[in-house]
Amino acid sequence: MSSAIKPNLIKDIRPQLKVNPVEYADTTFQALSERIADDYNYIIKTCVMPHIGNTHGLKVRELRVMACIAFYDYSLTPAHVAAMIRYDPATVTRAAKRLADANMVIRENNEQDTRSIVLKLTEPGKALVSLYNQRIKSVFTALEGIMEKSLNEDEKTEFLTAVYKVSKRAEIMREYAAKLPKNLDTQSETKIPF
């Protein structure tokens, strides 16, 4: 097949949409983000976790909390970690307890706010999270190396920025969702009271 025919063929077989894709962007974001999360979780559970050695019974959730702590130069509260990785605060609190019990983090009093604690990695915690992060980098580098199309650094930055914006937007929408009237008609000009 000549290259002159190929673009037309692709255009001809692409389904013609009946609506503007923007009208269904939110449901598409939701469906795609679920699928992306499933794919990443599969890779981490099958290619990363089995190969980092003794995890001291810790699961991916706890290692993600440790990775978040390791990314910053200052101590984080469980609330900070929850906000950054979009976990429920109670989930981070449980993870922090498991991590402390496994001697991976130390929970110290927060000097800026005596009502909370901060989380700091121990030396064994630093070693484990370093191994986890190295394995993730190795796995994803290897996978990208065998793929036909990969993202360059600029594309990764653009993608991460766009995903972050969608994530923040969804977070704000979630806060307001409970306040929506039960009889909301999307076709009318209903005024939302907030």
Quickly list H helices, the chain: 6-13, 25-43, 60-70, 78-85, 89-101, 123-146, 153-177
Structure tokens at 165: 């914006």
Quote the CA–CA distance of 22 and 30 in Å, as a whole number: 13
Look at residue 70 and tell me if it is in a domain: yes
Quote the CA–CA distance of 110 and 123 in Å, as a whole number: 20
For residue 46, the enclosing domain spans: 25-143
Asked if 60 and 45 touch (Cβ cutoff 8 Å), the reply is yes
The answer to whether the predicted template modeling score (pTM) of the entire model surpasses 0.85 is no
Look at residue 16 and tell me if it is in a domain: no
Q: What is the CATH number of the domain that holds 54?
A: 1.10.10.10
Give ∠ CA 157-159-164 in degrees, rounded to 5. 95
* Coil/strand/helix, residue 121: strand
Q: Dump pLDDT digits (tens) for 32-78.
A: 889 999 999 999 999 999 999 888 899 999 999 999 999 988 889 99
Quote the CA–CA distance of 122 and 97 in Å, as a whole number: 14
pLDDT of residue 190: 54
pLDDT of residue 124: 96
Look at residue 19 and tell me if it is in a domain: no
Q: Dump pLDDT digits (tens) for 126-184.
A: 999 999 999 999 999 999 888 877 788 899 899 889 988 988 888 888 888 888 887 76
What is the tally of structural domains in the chain? 1
Look at residue 105 and tell me if it is in a domain: yes
Q: Dump pLDDT digits (tens) for 72-101.
A: 888 899 999 999 998 999 999 999 999 999
Look at residue 171 and tell me if it is in a domain: no
- The two beta strands, 117-121 and 105-109, are antiparallel
pLDDT of residue 2: 47
Name, in order, each residue with C-beta under 8 angstroms of 43's C-beta and a sequence gap of 6 or more. Answer: 139, 140, 143
Look at residue 5 and tell me if it is in a domain: no
Look at residue 99 and tell me if it is in a domain: yes
Look at residue 108 and tell me if it is in a domain: yes
- Nearest Cα to 63, choosing from 105, 35, 116, 107? 105
